[in-house]
Structure 1
C-alpha cells in the first residue's frame, strides 16, 4: 500500500469514531488507491477537503467513495467521471458506455432527516410483528408518552390478543390514559405474519408518512441534475444510501401509496400510482432509483447491496442497468 494513501485515510477518519480503527484505515487507504488508479483522484481530493473542515459531511463523501469503489470492482475496464465539467449542474457520476451514458446523482439519506425516535420505534414494532405467525393486519395509534420501553410490552400484548377472534379496540398500559391502542383487521389475501397495516399518533398524524416525505424531498433535490430526458442514449439514475429505510418506504416514494380499504372486516389493498415515477415533470426524466445498503454492518468503509427500483416506463432498461452497475435486486411496480 502506498504510504500517501495510509496518511490520507488517517486524516479523513481523524474526526470520526473510526480514527483509531486500523482495519477501517487500511480499507479506506486501499479504496483510495483503487480510486486513484482509475483516474478518480478528484474524488479522493474532495474527500480530503471535506474531512479538513468540521467533518460533518464526511459520511456523505464516504458513501460516494464506497459506491465508486463498488462500480470499479464491477467493471474494472470502465470509464468513471466525477462531477465532469460541461453541465449546468454536473451530475455526481457519469459513466460513458458504448452507445449509452449513465448519469448518477447520489444522495445519502441520513438518520437525522426525519423524526428518528418515533420512526425507529415504529420500525422496531413492525420487525417484531413479523415474528408472529398470524394472518392479520394490525393498526396502531401511539400516544405522545409512548417510549422505547413500551415497545416490547406492546408487542407482547398484541401477540397475545392476535390469536383471538375479538374485533375490539385494545388499550395498552392504562384504560383511562392509554399509551397505545390497536385493532386487528383481516386481509383479503393470506399473510405470512402479523403485518402493520398503519400507524398514527393519537392526534391523527400519520407516522408512516414521515420517512416518505423525507425521501421525496431528497429525490426532488437530486433530480434537478438531469436537464435532459431519459432515453436509450442517456440513462438517469438517483443513487441513495438507505440503510435506515425499508423497501416499502422507497416503493411508496417512487411508485405510490398502497391504499387499504376495509370492507366488512376484510382489508383490501390497491396501489395509487402517485410516486415520483408518475409525476408529470419526472415521468420521462428518471429511469430508476438505486438503494444502497451496507454489506459490512457497522463499518464505515463497506461494499453495498444494490436494489434498483425501475420506472415502469423504462423496465426494458433494467437488465442492462443491472449489468453495468452490478445491481443485486430489481423491484418493479408489479412487486408492490
Structure 2
C-alpha cells in the first residue's frame, strides 16, 4: 500500500470524536483510497481530506461518499465511474456512463432533525469537558427533553463534585431529584485503563413525540437533491438519489416517497382497507418523471466509519421496469414498492 494513501487516511480520520486512532479503520480507508485512485476517482479522497478539518458532522457526509464509491467499484469492477464531472452545470455526485445509458446518482446523508442536532452539539461539548476530568471512570447520562446547552457547565460542575466519592451503584440527579434534567451514574472499567472520565452511554429520560419529523426531514433532503437532475428519467438517463439512512426506518422513507399510510377501519375495529395518501414525493410533479428511485444505505457495521452498505431501493411506480438495469450496476438487497407496507 502506498505511504501517501496511509498518510491521507490518517489525516482524514485523526479529528473524529471517539475515533481513538483506530489503526484498523485507517487501513481500511487507505485501501479504499487506493482502489478509488485506480479508477480515476481520487477526487473523492481529496474532497474528503479537504473537509476533514472542518465540521465533524460534515465530514461524515464525505466518508459516506467514499464508502459508497468503493462499494460501487467493488460490485462492478468493469464499470466506468465519474465523480462530479465538470461538464454539468450542477454535477451529480456520481455518473456511471454505460453503452446505451447513463446512471446519475446524487448522494445525500440523512442527518439528524433539529432536536437531535442540538443534542449532538451538547454531547460533543460534554465529551470535551469530561476529557478534562482526570479520573478513570465511565459515566452514563439520561437526559430530559428540556436539558439545554445552558445546563452543560452546571452539570459538569456537579459531576466533578461527586465523582471522587461516588458509589458506582448510586444515581445522581441534576439539578434536583424532583425535576431532574439529567440523571447520571458512574461505572468502573473492567479491562480498560482510562485516563479521564469517558461517556459510556446516553439516553432520553422521557418519550419524545416525533410523529411526522422523520418524513419532513427526508422530504427536505430529497428537495435539495433533486436539483442535480435537469433532465427527466428515461431509458438513457436513470436518475437515483442515494441516502445514508441509518437513523431512519423503512416506514419513514416509504411514507415520504409513496405517501402516508391510511387505515380504513370497520365499526368493529377490523381493518377494511389500507391505502396511501397522495402526498408522497413520487406523486409530485417535480419527482414523477424525474426520479427513478431512492436508495437507502445502511451500514453493515453501525459502529464503524469505513464499511459497506446494505441497500434498499424505493422504486418510483412509473419506473419499475428499470429494476434489472439498476441491479446490474448497484447491488440492491431489498426493493420496496408503493404497494408494500414496511
Query: Taking structure 2 as the reference length, what is the TM-score of the superposition?
Result: 0.70
Q: Give the whole-Å Cα distance in 1 for the aligned partners of 2:106 and 2:79.
A: 18
Q: Distance in 2 between matches of 1:56 and 1:207?
A: 22
Q: Which residue pairs with 2:230 in the alignment?
A: 227
Task: Tell me whether 1:241 sits opposite 2:244 in the alignment.
Answer: yes
Q: Which runs of 5+ in 1 are unaligned?
A: 118-144, 148-200
Query: Is the deviation greater in 256-265 or in 282-291?
Result: 256-265
Matches for 1:278-317 after TM superposition, within 5 Å: 278-317=283-322
Please list the CA deviations of residues 240-296 of structure 1 after superposition, one character each: whole Å capped at 9, or x if unmatched: 000111111111011001012433223443212321111012100000000000001
Cα deviation, residue 114, structure 1: 4.4
- Give RMSD over aligned pairs: 2.5
TM-aligned CA deviation for residue 53 of structure 1:
3.0
Structure 1 residue 207, shift from structure 2 partner: 2.8
Q: 1:80/1:115 Cα in 2 relative to 1: closer, same or farther (>3 Å)?
A: same
Q: How does 1:152-167 map to 2 (within 5 A)?
A: none
**Corresponding position: 1:331 with 2:332:** no
Match of 1:178 in 2: none
* Cα shift readout 1:12-67 (whole Å, capped 9, x = no counterpart): 00110325101111100111111111100111111111113344411000000000
Aligned to 1:75: 76
Q: Map 1:207-222; keep pairs closer than 5 Å.
A: 207-222=210-225
Query: Deviation string for 1:181-227 (max 9, x for gaps)?
Result: xxxxxxxxxxxxxxxxxxxx99xx97321100000000000001000
Instruction: Name the TM-score, length of structure 1 as normaliser.
Output: 0.72
Aligned-partner Cα distance in 2 for 1:30–1:216? 35
Aligned length: 256
CA contact (8 A) 1:35 1:69 kept: yes
Aligned equivalent of 2:98: 97
**Alpha-carbon spacing, 1:206–1:262, altered in 2? closer, same or farther (3 Å):** farther
1:239/1:298 Cα in 2 relative to 1: closer, same or farther (>3 Å)? same
- CA distance in structure 2 between the aligned counterparts of 1:251 and 1:301, rounded to whole angstroms: 27
Match of 1:53 in 2: 54
Cα distance, 1:22–1:146 mapped onto 2, change above 3 Å: closer
Residues 1:259 and 2:262 are matched in the alignment: yes
Distance 1:317 1:99 in 2: 14
2: CA distance between counterparts of 1:55 and 1:277?
33
Aligned structure 1 segments of 4 or more residues deviating by more than 4 angstroms = none
Alignment of 1:275 onto 2:276: no
Structure 2 segments unaligned to the other structure (5+ residues) = 118-143, 147-205
SS in 2 for 1:289: strand
SS at match of 2:11: helix
Partner of 1:173: none
Please point out which of 315, 319, 325 is paired with 2:324. 319
CA–CA separation in structure 2 for the residues paired with 1:2 and 1:304 = 26
The worse-fitting range, judged by mean Cα deviation, of 61-70 and 272-281 is: 272-281
Q: Confirm or deny: 8 A CA contact 1:114 1:214 kept in the other structure.
A: no
